[in-house]
Amino acid sequence: MRIAFLGTPDFAVPSLQMLIDKGHELALFTNPDRPKGRKGELTPPPTKVLAQKYDIPVYQFEKIRCEEGVAALKEFAPELMVTAAFGQILSAENLAIPKYGCINVHGSLLPKLRGAAPIQWSIINGDKVTGVTTMLTDVGLDTGDILLMRETPIGENETAGELFDRLAVMGAELLDETIQELLAGKLNPVPQDHDAATKCGMIKKEMGRLDFSMTAQQIHDKVRGMNPWPAAFTTVDGADVKIWETRKTGEKCGGTPGLCVTADPKKGIFVQTADELIEITEIQFSGAKRMSAKAAVLGHPLEGKVFGE
């Protein structure tokens, strides 16, 4: 099948690779190269890197709704469009081009968590189950009819990065199944229950700040949801400290939230929350590498200090 693939970040790569492996005739439409790193060097999107490896034509637009974007799609004349973490809203003119419409691969169980960062928010919100959905793209934000869904439990200590990788692969598998069902004429699109929809916005760096007056579960979920980006953080002695990994202890506590009650190279770092002690197992001080908490306390006396002040 002749498919225009619209996708940009790592989440889209397994879906693009699957379409390549299945022998579809492809063109990639993605965002422009962006400055990255301290030197600000222009870096291509991960999907572009993959497409160039297979000599797949690549088109890059800030807004594919622009006249040039519409013209490029029409010139390629796809039978089907596929979007996966594309990061742009398509116009009715875009969507009218392919014979079979546009299939979107989304990292949540729609209509829950429509928007830009469903994987991170599923963990931050403390969800126990999530999944992937294929849907018919319309002009709204993740509002189209549902095609297929597949769910998966979220591990108690699973990070957003780990879940991201799992759902990217699941999404590719579900996309393959969806296209097979489409070609067989077996798809039955189901309208979403818009009254049950929830939305999630983009993750911003400041959102990683921890509030130790929250429960240990809420803190643990936020640390996992912010890993690998932007990383949860707190303040110690006026300097920001990244918290990469935590563990719930179940040990009830009282007193000042954020108080570090134990910081020992043999025992680790334990901090008071609203309801129980939470263990910080991996930490990163400014200008230093990530390290285990037990190693970190050798050069940083923390016991008795209040995190967040």
Please identify every stretch of the chain with a pLDDT value under 50, giving residue numbers as ranges. none
41 within some domain: yes
One domain for residues 251 and 139: no
Q: What is the pLDDT of residue 21?
A: 98
Q: What is the pLDDT of residue 43?
A: 96
Q: What is the pLDDT of residue 40?
A: 87
One domain for residues 221 and 192: no
One domain for residues 281 and 142: no
Q: What is the pLDDT of residue 160?
A: 98
Q: What is the pLDDT of residue 113?
A: 98
303 within some domain: no
Domain endpoint, select from 179, 200, 221: 200
One domain for residues 75 and 179: yes
Total number of domains in the chain: 2
One domain for residues 19 and 101: yes
Whole-prediction pTM: 0.95
The domain that contains 280 carries what CATH number? 3.10.25.10
309 within some domain: no
Q: What is the pLDDT of residue 73?
A: 98
290 within some domain: yes
Q: What is the pLDDT of residue 142?
A: 95
Q: What is the pLDDT of residue 38?
A: 81
Q: How many residues does the chain have?
A: 309
258 within some domain: yes
Residues whose CB is less than 8 angstroms from the CB of residue 293 and which lie 6 or more positions away in sequence, other chains included: 263, 268, 269, 279, 280, 281, 282, 283
Residue type, 168: A
306 within some domain: no
Q: What is the pLDDT of residue 130?
A: 98
One domain for residues 288 and 234: yes
Q: What is the pLDDT of residue 254?
A: 86
Domain endpoint, select from 180, 200, 220: 200
308 within some domain: no
One domain for residues 289 and 275: yes
| Cα 303 to Cα 25, 112, 200, 306, 307, distances in angstroms | 61, 41, 37, 9, 10
One domain for residues 250 and 153: no
Note down the domain range covering 276. 205-296
One domain for residues 196 and 209: no
Asked if 32 contacts 62 with a C-beta cutoff of 8 angstroms, the reply is yes
The domain that contains 165 carries what CATH number? 3.40.50.170
Asked if 208 contacts 231 with a C-beta cutoff of 8 angstroms, the reply is yes
Residue whose tokens read 């999530």:
130
One domain for residues 131 and 154: yes
Residue whose tokens read 């297979």:
54
Q: Strands (DSSP E) along the chain, which ranges?
A: 2-7, 25-30, 34-36, 41-43, 58-60, 80-84, 102-106, 114-115, 129-136, 146-153, 199-200, 232-236, 239-252, 260-264, 268-272, 276-285, 291-292
Residue whose tokens read 């303040």:
235
Q: What is the pLDDT of residue 255?
A: 86
Q: What is the pLDDT of residue 249?
A: 97
One domain for residues 52 and 185: yes
Asked if 208 contacts 233 with a C-beta cutoff of 8 angstroms, the reply is yes
* Residue 237 tokens, joined: 């002695």
145 within some domain: yes
Domain endpoint, select from 200, 233, 256: 200
One domain for residues 77 and 218: no
